[in-house]
Structure 1
C-alpha cells in the first residue's frame, strides 16, 4: 500500500524557504499532527472571511475589534491570542483588496468535491477560506482567497505566489464547472501581518515547476523524517 503524503498549502509555503531542520520538523508534524492543538486567531480569521464574503464590508471586522476589546483573558495563551487578533484585524483594515471584490456582487461557493489537489504524488490541502463566483458581461468567473495570520512568520512574495498559484490550480481542477472561468486576479493569497495581497502570477507555469520541485523534496524527506 502506498504512503499518503499530505501537506497543507501554508505548510508547503513554509517548507519552501525552511532550513533542513525546519523542513524535517514540518514533515514530522504533517506525519503525526497534534489532534489537541488549538488553532490560533480563530476570531480574526472568521471576521476577515465574513468581510470578504460581504463584498469587503468592514463591519464584521469592526465588530470583531469591539468583541476582542471586551474580552478579559486570564491565561497567557488567551492574552496573546487577544492581543495578536486585535492587531490582525486592525492591519486587515489597511489591506487593499481588488476592486472587483468590492464592486461586483458575488455568490459564495460552500460545497466542493475535495479540499485538495495532488502534485507529484503529494496531496496538498488547499481548502480556501472563501470561494466566490461572479458574473461580468454575462460570463461567470470564480476566484478564491487563502488567508495567512502569523505575526512571527510573514510570507514573502515568492511564498505568497506559490499559494495563489495553487489556489488557481485547485479551482481549475476541482471547483470550476465547464462554463466557468478562473480569474487569476481573484485567486489571492492574503498575508495579514505582511499587509499584502498576491494574485496568481503571470508566469504561472514557472511557479508550478518550482512547486513540483518542492513536492519532490517533500516526498524525499517524508521517506526519511
Structure 2
C-alpha cells in the first residue's frame, strides 16, 4: 500500500464533485501544500469545536461572537474573516445537534495513532475535529465530528455523507479497540453554512464503493500532475 498519495477529507469531498480543472488544482495543492498558508476562520472553528466538546454548550460561541465584534481588522482579509466568522458562529447556534451530544456526558479523545484512513492506495487524512467516547453500562461507544466552514463552498448531502462514512471507517480501523462500538448517529459531518448535519448510514458499502472509484480518479490526477 502506497502512502505517497494523500488528500485531506474536505478536499476529497471537493474533488468528488469538481470539474477536471478544479480536480487538477486540488491535487497540485495536495502534492505541494503551501506551508505559509494561513487558515481561515480559526477562531470560529475553535469555538464550535469547544462547544461540541462541552455537550453543545453555547457559551464559547457567545464569547467568540463578542470577541470577534471587538476586533479591529486592519487588512481586507481580516475584515472578511471577521464577518464570515461571526456569521458562522451565529448559524451554528441554530444547528440542531443530536440529542445524544447534549444529554449524555462524554469524554473526548485527544491522542490517536493516526489521523488517516487508507482506501484503494490513497491516504485520506480524516483528522476529526472532535472524537467522542461515551461509556454506558460498561460498554464504550465512539463517534467523531468534522466541521466544514465555507460560505462559498457548501457541501451537498452526498459530499457530507462521504465525510461521515470516512469518519466511521476511520473510527473502526484506527481508534476503536476491542469491544468499542462506533455509533453511526455520532459519525457527523457538520456543514455550518449549509446548516446541515449528516450522519453515517448503517450500511456504508455503497458509499465505500463510490469512494473507491473517486480514489482511482485521485490517483490518476496525482500521477498526471
User: TM-score with structure 2 length normalisation?
Assistant: 0.98
User: Hey, what's the Cα distance between the residues in 2 that align with 1:187 and 1:135?
Assistant: 16
Aligned to 1:64: 64
For residues 47-69 of structure 1, the C-alpha deviation after alignment (integer angstroms, 9 at most, x for no partner) is 00000000000000000000001
Alignment of 1:108-127 (within 5 A): 108-127=108-127
**Does the alignment pair 1:210 with 2:175?**
no
User: Hey, what's the Cα distance between the residues in 1 that align with 2:17 and 2:89?
Assistant: 27
4+ runs deviating over 4 angstroms: none
Residue pair 2:3, 2:121 contacting (<8 A) in 1 also: no
* Gap runs ≥5 in structure 1: none
Aligned to 1:131: 131
Aligned to 1:97: 97
Aligned to 1:201: 201
- Give the C-alpha shift of residue 74 in structure 1: 1.3
Aligned length: 224
For residues 6-40 of structure 1, the C-alpha deviation after alignment (integer angstroms, 9 at most, x for no partner) is 10000000000000101111001101111111000
- Give the C-alpha shift of residue 3 in structure 1: 6.9
User: Hey, what's the Cα distance between the residues in 2 that align with 1:108 and 1:34?
Assistant: 30
- Give the C-alpha shift of residue 138 in structure 1: 3.1
Alignment of 1:19-58 (within 5 A): 19-58=19-58
Aligned to 2:7: 7
User: Hey, what's the Cα distance between the residues in 2 that align with 1:204 and 1:138?
Assistant: 27
- Give the C-alpha shift of residue 201 in structure 1: 1.9
Aligned to 1:147: 147
User: Hey, what's the Cα distance between the residues in 1 that align with 2:192 and 2:206?
Assistant: 26
User: Hey, what's the Cα distance between the residues in 1 that align with 2:183 and 2:70?
Assistant: 40
Q: What is the CA RMSD across the aligned residues, in angstroms?
A: 0.9
User: Hey, what's the Cα distance between the residues in 1 that align with 2:160 and 2:136?
Assistant: 26
User: Hey, what's the Cα distance between the residues in 2 that align with 1:108 and 1:13?
Assistant: 25
Residue pair 2:120, 2:215 contacting (<8 A) in 1 also: yes
User: Hey, what's the Cα distance between the residues in 1 that align with 2:117 and 2:168?
Assistant: 11
**Does the alignment pair 1:180 with 2:180?**
yes
Describe the SS at the equivalent of 1:38: coil
For residues 81-123 of structure 1, the C-alpha deviation after alignment (integer angstroms, 9 at most, x for no partner) is 0000000000000000100000000011000000001111100
Describe the SS at the equivalent of 1:202: coil
